[in-house]
Structure 1
Amino acid sequence: MAWAGGAGALLGLLAITSGIVTLRSGWIVPTARRHVTRPRLHGLGALLTGTSLLAQSLFHFRVLPGVSWEARSVGGNALLLAGLLLIALGQLLPLRRNHDHPAARPSR
């Protein structure tokens, strides 16, 4: 079962990297660009999801100090669900329209 913890750590690191890149530059993975309307929410959600996956795998390998399995389970699931909720909101909320921006004004 060590491969499951290793795969979780790898996916967690990839999600954290994706979240940081999205928050810093606004870049989104090409397969998700059509769907994401709020890149900041999407990046924050990816960061929380990756943190959850990485923490769960570090607990599995006993790298982090021992905590009860209930606290690990509830904490990891709360982070994971919060991240997935933010990713969903980043895709489902409508685009923001800034009426003060020159590009948002209708041309004559």
Structure 2
Amino acid sequence: MKLYLAVPVVLLALLIAASGVAAVSRGWVIPVNRRPVCHPRLYGWGQLVVAFALCWQMVFLLVPGDPDTRQWGTLTGSALLLTGLIVMMASHRTGRDSAG
């Protein structure tokens, strides 16, 4: 088993998921991202999708024995990861000035 790879990725996914739950339920975003994030709940949903995608990729990396299943599972996880990142980017402010 590749536990040296799975354990840090799953821990990172748990941290991202905890931050996503806080953003969805309370509208709280970590202080580094508070200024650029305009829609914290949308940002939280994006974080939850990213966390799910990371776990999805780890499951399909470790569990299936069939190479085709592993390939399609990790490809699906990559598509989910990209979707989550796009949702997180959509929650950011535009490039306009706050005074304008």
Give TM class, smaller chain.
Answer: 0.7 to 0.9
Which portions of structure 1, spanning 4 or more consecutive aligned residues, are displaced by more than 3 angstroms?
64-67
Closer, same or farther in 2 for the Cα pair 1:74/1:91, shift >3 Å?
Answer: same
Identity %: 30
Return the index of the structure with the highest Cα Rg: 1
Distance 2:94 2:13 in 1: 25
Distance 2:82 2:45 in 1: 12
Aligned-partner residue type, residue 27 of structure 1: W
Instruction: Tell me the residue number matched to 2:12.
Output: 11
Distance 1:74 1:4 in 2: 18
Distance 1:74 1:92 in 2: 30
Structure 2 runs not aligned, ≥5 long: 96-100
Distance 2:28 2:81 in 1: 22
Per-residue CA deviation, residues 3-32 of structure 1 (Å, 9 max, x unaligned), is 222111111111111111110000000110
Of 50-59 and 24-33, deviating more is 50-59
CA contact (8 A) 2:57 2:78 kept: no
Distance 2:83 2:65 in 1: 24
Does the alignment pair 1:48 with 2:49? yes
CA contact (8 A) 1:19 1:45 kept: yes
Aligned-partner residue type, residue 78 of structure 1: A
Q: How many residues are aligned here?
A: 93
Closer, same or farther in 2 for the Cα pair 1:3/1:26, shift >3 Å?
Answer: same
- Written as runs of structure 1 = structure 2, the 5 A alignment for 1:20-59 is 20-59=21-60
Structure 1 runs not aligned, ≥5 long: 95-108
Aligned-partner residue type, residue 86 of structure 1: V
TM superposition shift of 1:58: 2.7
TM-score (norm 1): 0.75
TM-score (norm 2): 0.80
